Structure formats: structure tokens, C-alpha cells
Amino acid sequence: MSNTTNTTSNIEALIRVTSRLIGVLNHEVEMLRAMRIGDIEKLQDEKTNLTVAYENCVRALQADPTALGAVEPAVRQELDALAHQMRRGEITRH
């Protein structure tokens, strides 16, 4: 597998993981707002697994930061938007 293909696969995995993690965090916030505290425990395993997967994806991309430049602009833009959401804590805004 070429370095560019590997980087693209890592970015696509990071996009999937980040999107799902944002979804779980949104669900958790909704549960908190609804005072369904007891239901939050059901999300913890998935949230933990997604967090570990997110960290692994980020580490893989950090191993070769120059390879990010070879990724399709649309994919890079999608990743940037998700990363911005995660950094800013833009989860559920109702």
C-alpha cells in the first residue's frame, strides 16, 4: 500500500470515528438535558472505544504529517471541519 493510500485510509477512518464520537457525545448531552443520567452508562463502552480509535488514528497521521498534503482537498476539508467541531466542543447546540 502506498504512503498516500495509507494516509487516505487513515484519514477516512478518522472521519468515520470522529463522526461517530460526535454522535455519541451529542446523544450523551441529550440524555443529560433530559436528566436520564442512568442511561449514560450504556454509552461509556462505545465512547471509550471510539476515543481510543480516535487517538490511534491521530497518532498514525502524526507519524507522517507531510503526507496530509497529498490527500484530496474535499476529504481534507471534511476532516478539518470535524476536527474544528471536536476542538471547539461544538457538539449539540440547541
More confident residue, 18 or 76: 18
Cell of 44: 461509556
As a whole number of angstroms, the distance between CA 53 and CA 60 comes to: 11
Contact of 58 with 14, CB cutoff 8 Å: yes
How many other CB atoms are found less than 10 A from the CB of residue 18?
A: 22
53-93 tens-digit pLDDT: 999 988 988 887 777 787 888 988 998 899 888 887 666 55
How many other CB atoms are found less than 10 A from the CB of residue 53?
A: 17
